[in-house]
Amino acid sequence: MPSRRELLSTAAVLAAGNSLLREAVGANQNPADQVVDRVSTLRITGMKTYWVNPCVIIKIETNHGIVGWGDLKGVDPRVSKVLAESLFELLNGENPTRIEHLWQKIFRSHRNIRGGAFMLHTLAAIDMALWDITGKLWGVPVYRLLGGPCRDRIRVYHTPQAVKVPPPGIFEHSSNPADIERIVASIKAAREKVGPSGAVMFDAHSAVPPATLIQLAGAIKPYDVLFIEEPAVPGNIEVFKRLKAQISIPLAAGERDRTIYEMLPYLQNRCLDVLQPDCCHTGGITSMKKIATLAEAYHVPLAPHCTASNLGISASLHVVTAIPMLLIHEFYPDNRGFNPLGMGKVDWKVDAEGYVGLPQGPGLGVEIDEKTLEAEAKKPQSYKWPGRTLKDGSIADY
């Protein structure tokens, strides 16, 4: 057996040899010294933005002719269009397949707008386009790059088997019996429509006062609501905790919360049973996949919010294809208010049980008619700030 002195001498010789080898190979050829993909020559070369109400569609171009598309929605398009064009400064000349790196580069680029709605919604569209490019590069659907499919089909609503009762309108800071009776009647009608095997959801839209929602929850219990959506205005976790302590119906929210950092308090305080991230709001595919993993640790499924064009719908469906815990997915591909021009050619088919098939690739699997898009974007576009007032003239939450 060699002595300790001999072993140490051998180790020193090997270390010296490795050092000489590194110098001989050179930094340019040594994989251990490389963090950038030096083999690929694929680079981002351009961006185009098309404002078509109510969204901005972005196109990211590369030097190899592969392009990616993204859906920018949910914020003032007059601002988000310009922000996307400004952020191109951080993308120009980069390898588009370094998606996580570029996501972090944009997200952390400005300390005072990091995490804000305009930044995250714009980043979401960019992220979708990067995944679209990468899927096309490898000739596979995006969900293959996310780990492959966890399911064979995706349950969606609205269908004859799953209905969400819409927001009930504007409420004062309290309510009267007529208000509650009106909502109960709508939920009862929805249950009768779908039958005992179907799903009924109620969207409170952060518009029902907490005290009223507690009263309402008791009245609708016989109709087995799958979940109550947006039970309160985001921002104060104590309100959600109070509602969860007094309502036995599952609570769902998350469409106005962005990234893992805003979702975490709901999970830590056990005040939501379902998370509803919107792929177009939360920073895109990259961020939504992380939220799904975080929720999985708490055994909380996703029921993604999705009022998007076919681009946004497809991006969200790719994520839920590749996650284990999915409850149901929002789905409005034919709503022109969300999906101008039927944005992008996709053959969505809902089966008799209320499911759609997995998205088809490569990339996001959405074909864009750019000539039609260009023509539509040249038409005058407008934007009007939403907002609501109560009967006494004071401002209501929207």
Q: Give the residue-averaged pLDDT of 358-373.
A: 93
134 burial (CB, 10 Å; 0-12 / 13-18 / 19+) is: buried
The hierarchical CATH code for the domain 44-140 is 3.30.390.10
Residue 372 confidence (pLDDT) above 50: yes
Give the integer Cα–Cα distance in Å for 102 and 295: 24
pLDDT tens digits, 12-71: 545 555 554 455 555 555 554 555 566 689 999 999 999 999 999 999 999 999 999 999
* Confidence band, pLDDT 50/70/90 cuts, at residue 7: very low
Q: Which pLDDT does position 343 carry in this prediction?
A: 72
Does 121 qualify as catalytic in the annotation? no
The model's pTM is 0.89
Q: Which residue has the tokens 């969860």?
A: 244
CATH 3.20.20.120 segments of the chain: 145-367
From 205, 281, 299, 318, the catalytic residue: 205
From 121, 305, 318, 329, the catalytic residue: 305
The contacts of residue 117 (CB under 8 Å, 6+ apart) are 74, 75, 258, 281
Torsion, Cα 23 19 101 58, to 10 degrees, reads 20
Does 158 qualify as catalytic in the annotation? no
CATH 3.30.390.10 segments of the chain: 44-140
The hierarchical CATH code for the domain 145-367 is 3.20.20.120
pLDDT tens digits, 128-154: 999 999 999 999 999 999 999 999 999
